[in-house]
């Protein structure tokens, strides 16, 4: 055994140097590491009457250990920090986030992290949904009928509301609306379905989807139908054209036909109150006295109202063609009594329409 104990000091030094070299090689691949990593944050035992406004999603945690162990700590999904909100109250308070799920070989140097949170009362409130009408042709005298303009949710005769569950501070002064941006150039009732419900406060839009809370803000319905009623303005509709004729054709001649071109209907336009009383328009009088041959007359159309104008046909004028035929001789003998032409020959009445 003398060989074993001989020069033992040198042999011990060699062993220490070999172990040191081995450790140096090992630590060069997996050296000690101290890092600040971000870990997920979860909340427990939040009272149902409260909501956390803009809750942090993660917190920085300082950990120490071998590099591979620290990397494994970062990769583990179950590693995180937990905030216990048992007994929490409304207002700004500081709570402790406790790190959980640490990996073997890693020391958490900040196991408890102070966290400033803002809590508010969780409130459910119903808000009426207003209708913003953005494109009314006011130059035509069109105005909204407030009682007939509202949002509906299935029942056209009833205005609907949106139910919002959110922090009380957010609901203060909040209002809901849908935006009706279709152009309105004639009075009546129009509808636009499936419009998104928006919110605003003090004239500024509030996008609830971008407000982060725990639990999340909820509202329903998210879409509604806008019912818009307007009054005044100018209406148009179609009415029949009637003929005004006076006098009789020449002796021995009778009227075979009367015709109007280009149409027996006219389109009139004017205030609603005036149009409701007008069912037809008439031509200016045509004097048939002594007529002995077929004749075409150009006549304007008259509505009987100074506030109503004839839009068509031909800008408010028509051609009236009177066809007369010679049916008997006026010299000697008994003359048949000619059939008098009617003062007004009505055309078939169409069903008035309002474009």
pLDDT digits (tens, 9 = 90+) for 195-212: 999 999 998 999 999 999
The pLDDT value recorded for residue 349 is 40
The pLDDT value recorded for residue 346 is 43
Label residues 234-260 b or e (16+ Cβ within 10 Å = b). Answer: bbbbbbbbbbbbeebbeebbbbeebeb
Could you identify the residue written with the tokens 């499936």? 194
Residue 57 has pLDDT above 60, yes or no: yes
Which one is predicted more confidently, 278 or 4?
A: 278
What percent of the chain shows pLDDT beyond 90?
49
Per the prediction, the chain carries an average pLDDT of: 83
Residue 245 has pLDDT above 50, yes or no: yes
**For the residues 263-271, what does the mean pLDDT come to?**
87
Give residues with Cβ within 8 angstroms of 338, minimum separation 6.
248, 249, 251, 253, 254
Q: How many helices (H) and strands (E) does the chain have?
A: 5, 26
Are 83 and 44 spatial neighbours (Cβ–Cβ below 8 Å)?
yes
The pLDDT value recorded for residue 11 is 56
The pLDDT value recorded for residue 342 is 45
The closest of 268, 280, 269, 266 to 318, measured between CA atoms, is 266
Phi-psi region of 188 (alpha: psi -120 to 50; beta: other; left: phi over 0): left
- Going by the DSSP 8-state scheme, the letter that residue 300 receives in this structure is E
Residue 335 has pLDDT above 60, yes or no: no
**For the residues 28-45, what does the mean pLDDT come to?**
80
Which one is predicted more confidently, 124 or 137?
A: 124
**For the residues 234-263, what does the mean pLDDT come to?**
89
Q: Are strands 198-201 and 204-206 parallel, antiparallel or unpaired?
A: antiparallel
The pLDDT value recorded for residue 29 is 56
Alpha helices in the chain, H assignment, sequence order: 2-5, 8-29, 67-75, 168-171, 272-275
The pLDDT value recorded for residue 305 is 82
- Going by the DSSP 8-state scheme, the letter that residue 138 receives in this structure is G
Give residues with Cβ within 8 angstroms of 61, minimum separation 6.
36, 37, 38, 39, 81, 99, 108, 110, 113
Q: How far is CA 229 from CA 132, 136, 155, 218, 235, in A?
A: 12, 11, 16, 31, 14
Confidence of residue 226 (pLDDT cuts 50, 70, 90): very high
Q: What is the rounded radius of gyration, in angstroms, for the C-alpha atoms of the chain?
A: 46
The pLDDT value recorded for residue 37 is 83
Give residues with Cβ within 8 angstroms of 250, minimum separation 6.
290, 291, 292
Residue 123 has pLDDT above 90, yes or no: yes
| Strand-pair partners of 115 | 95
């Amino acid at each position: 055994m003398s060989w074993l104990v001989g020069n033992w000091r040198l042999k011990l030094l060699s062993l220490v140097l070999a172990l040191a070299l081995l450790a140096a090689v090992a630590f060069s691949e997996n050296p000690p590491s101290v890092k600040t990593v971000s870990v997920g944050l979860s909340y427990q035992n939040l009272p149902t009457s409260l909501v956390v406004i803009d809750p942090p999603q993660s917190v920085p945690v300082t950990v120490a250990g071998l590099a591979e162990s620290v990397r494994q700590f970062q990769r583990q999904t179950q590693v995180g920090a937990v905030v216990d909100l048992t007994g929490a109250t409304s207002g700004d308070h500081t709570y402790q986030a406790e790190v959980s799920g640490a990996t073997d070989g890693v020391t958490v140097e900040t196991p408890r992290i102070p966290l400033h949170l803002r809590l508010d009362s969780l409130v459910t409130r119903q808000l009426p949904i207003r209708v913003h009408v953005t494109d009314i042709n006011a130059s035509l005298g069109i105005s909204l009928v407030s009682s007939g303009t509202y949002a509906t949710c299935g029942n056209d005769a009833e205005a609907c509301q949106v139910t919002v569950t959110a922090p009380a501070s957010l609901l203060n002064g909040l209002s809901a609306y849908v935006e009706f941006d279709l152009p309105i150039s004639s009075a009546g009732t129009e509808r636009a379905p499936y419009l998104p419900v928006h919110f605003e406060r003090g004239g500024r839009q509030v996008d609830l989807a971008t407000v982060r809370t725990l639990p999340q803000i909820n509202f329903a319905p998210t879409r509604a139908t806008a019912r818009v009623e307007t009054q005044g303005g100018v209406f148009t509709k179609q009415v029949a054209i009637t003929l005004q004729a006076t006098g009789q054709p020449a002796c021995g001649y009778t009227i075979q036909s009367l015709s109007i071109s280009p149409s027996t209907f006219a389109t009139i336009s004017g205030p609603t109150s005036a149009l409701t009383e007008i069912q037809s328009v008439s031509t200016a009088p045509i004097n048939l006295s002594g007529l002995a041959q077929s004749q075409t007359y150009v006549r304007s159309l008259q509505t009987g109202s100074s506030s109503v104008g004839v839009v068509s046909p031909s800008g408010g004028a028509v051609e009236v063609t009177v066809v007369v035929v010679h049916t008997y001789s006026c010299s000697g003998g008994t003359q048949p009594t000619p059939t008098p032409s009617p003062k007004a020959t009505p055309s078939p009445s169409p069903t008035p329409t309002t474009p």
